[in-house]
Structure 1
């Protein structure tokens, strides 16, 4: 039987996030994988919220790399995480066997909820 290992949530103001991306040109490449970086700003804000939410669900350990947590979505499927490196190691250390992710963007806000099971 699985149990909840962690829960995380994050909300991002899309306009403010967009301004940050415009003000700091290297930020997009620092935060997102190549596949993620090509998406529209609303989707980027939701993905940033997802990365923040999973970090919170993991207990915000030091040393997590933004690129080690990618939000992927196959055609017609819900979003999910592709974990690698530092984020995968942090999840494994907590016994995480499943990560649930929900994203939304509306009314100028992007929101992500993460539930980790182990």
Structure 2
């Protein structure tokens, strides 16, 4: 059963300006495994993290850099469900997260669906 849905859009130029002005944003917002990605990919990941918070209603006890996103061999993204994020999902009874991200024409967009087994 779907228990949450979140969508977010990020203006890539605005995101790139923010990261340029405040380089520590990479450390605050992204897991070490994500930091070397191009800015357009980071903007999409930021949108996905915002969408996750919206799908969950909040993200208590989970920092932005603990919401890591990894891609499989074919490029499909998924949240790395470990540590504080895994604990939060377990407390909320969320069995699966589905994420879709895209970036084009200066915009990054992401959608997250939270699903339970109930």
Gaps of 5+ in 2: none
Gaps of 5+ in 1: none
RMSD: 1.2
The answer on whether the counterparts of 1:46 and 1:112 sit within 8 Å (CA) in structure 2 is: yes
Candidates 65, 70, 73, aligned match of 1:75: 73
Shift of 1:115: 0.4
Aligned length: 116
Secondary structure, in 3 states, of the residue corresponding to 1:112? strand
CA deviations on 1:35-90 (whole Å, 9 max, x unpaired) are: 20100000000000111111111111433211221110022131011023332222
Match of 2:35 in 1: 37
TM-score norm. by structure 1 comes to 0.92
2:26 paired with 1:28: yes
